[in-house]
Chains A and B, each alone.
Chain A
Amino acid sequence: EAAVTQSPRNKVTVTGGNVTLSCRQTNSHNYMYWYRQDTGHGLRLIHYSYGAGNLQIGDVPDGYKATRTTQEDFFLLLELASPSQTSLYFCASSDAGGAANERLFFGHGTKLSVL
């Protein structure tokens, strides 16, 4: 089973604060994703990457930056956090090379509260 580890599991910050969420996958997957989960909105894609140094914009990117430093590590950065970014954040990875492999493996999530 693919392993995706997120840290921290919980984070509280204040409006205007600087936050970095970390994600590591150890399965040599090419693709990594950051989603946020909000009641009534489901899972929404923030940013994704198909390899080290690559970054693609998702569907709700405003207020977020991301960086893929290695194949294993993908970071989500909130440089000026706002209360609207209070959410549950999930990192996921996949080896999107073919139909049989198109499956996302999720981390356990990071609960972020912006006060």
Chain B
Amino acid sequence: GDSVTQTEGLVTLTEGLPVMLNCTYQTIYSNPFLFWYVHYLNESPRLLLKSSTDNKRTEHQGFHATLHKSSSSFHLQKSSAQLSDSALYYCALSDRGTNTGKLTFGDGTVLTVKP
């Protein structure tokens, strides 16, 4: 079945430094849809950005990611971390091959930004 791997469980950064959260995936479907969701403490998880287009950068709220089908990756990046970026980040893969609307989530990466 589908799977999503986020290699870092916890990332701690100093404010102002660049952010990169890794995400790789496995699927038999040739046209996957990849998502990043962000979960701030005491809030609901919500969509940060999404893509299904190979090699096209997608951006939202200062974050960006590019889907690379050749390496099955969808890493999340930001040029300069802010204290308010501290949250739990999930990479997810859509099971559109079976049209169920299901998402497969990675284990999540906790990003902590310190002054």
On A, residues with C-beta under 8 Å from B are 4, 30-31, 33, 35, 40-45, 48, 50, 56, 58, 90, 94, 96, 99, 102-109
Cβ–Cβ contact B101 & A50, under 8 A? yes
Chain A residues, CB < 8 A from B47: 103-104
Interchain CA distance A102-B107 in the complex, whole Å: 20
Beta-carbon contact of B96 and A99 below 8 Å: yes
Overall SS of chain B's interface? loop
**B42-78 interface code vs A (CB 8 A; 1 in, 0 out):** 0111110010100000000000000000000000000
Q: In the complex, which residues of chain A have a beta carbon less than 8 angstroms from the beta carbon of B108? A: 42-43
The docked-state distance in angstroms from the alpha carbon of A109 to that of B92 is 19
A102 touches B33 (CB 8 A): yes
Q: Is the CB of A106 within 8 A of B44?
A: yes
Shortest Cβ distance from A2 into chain B, in angstroms?
10
**B9–A104 touching, CB < 8 Å:** no
| Number of chain B residues close to chain A: CB under 8 A | 25
Residues of A within 8 A of B101 (CB): 30-31, 48, 50, 94, 96, 102
**Other contacts beyond A102-B96, A105-B44: 16, CB < 8 A:** A31-B101, A33-B102, A42-B107, A42-B108, A43-B108, A45-B103, A58-B102, A94-B101, A99-B33, A99-B96, A103-B35, A103-B47, A103-B50, A106-B44, A106-B45, A108-B43
The CB with the most chain A CB atoms within 10 A, among B9, B96, B107, is that of: B107
Could you write out 20 A-B pairs with CB less than 8 Å apart?
Answer: A31-B101, A42-B105, A42-B106, A42-B107, A43-B92, A43-B105, A45-B103, A48-B101, A48-B102, A50-B100, A50-B101, A56-B100, A102-B94, A102-B96, A103-B47, A104-B103, A106-B45, A107-B44, A108-B44, A109-B44
Are B90's CB and A102's CB within 8 A?
Answer: no
Cβ-defined partner of B9 (8 Å) among A40, A44, A45: A40
Closest CB of chain A to B47's CB: distance in Å? 5
